[in-house]
Structure 1
């Protein structure tokens, strides 16, 4: 009697170099198409070199300004076509400076370990 096949995908290996090349290319495209983007930083496990299969890319997108609320910005800056999942955090420079002054640990870690992609 045949066994039941799993429909889930298992990833055993993450090509970090390929992922970084794609992230840099996408970040350059993002800056070219959105002049309000000052910088795109990669932070989290990929930036620390601790990524494992299934890890996503955490991107801090630093904007010169925005009139939209934070949650409404996310779809505008969410890149597509990457070999990994992406979490994007589009904050204005003013918001980041304020959060750092308030001691926000999330933003502090993201800016401290962030790798500039574009």
Structure 2
């Protein structure tokens, strides 16, 4: 349920800050897509109005999944997941676009 909530936060933040979504529309999305009760849905929607960064968990996850897909594409696919994760973790915690460039070099392409 937490992953589902994070996904709806991602959609809500983008909608509220770039697509003209209303707080009421965001609240409805939390109720219908994340199965939140009305109080929690209202709280999550309100949070989205002042914390556009609450989408960052999901954004980071999507960036890592894309990097894994791109890095392992010519290294054996799923067989290379361990090597991918070992290399990813070896960089520590720099911004993911920097890790992407370090791991893929000139072939880095877009982050998402």
TM-score by length of 2: 0.28
Higher relative contact order structure (alpha carbons within 8 Å, sequence separation ≥ 6): 1
Greater fraction of residues in helix: 2
Greater fraction of residues in strand: 1
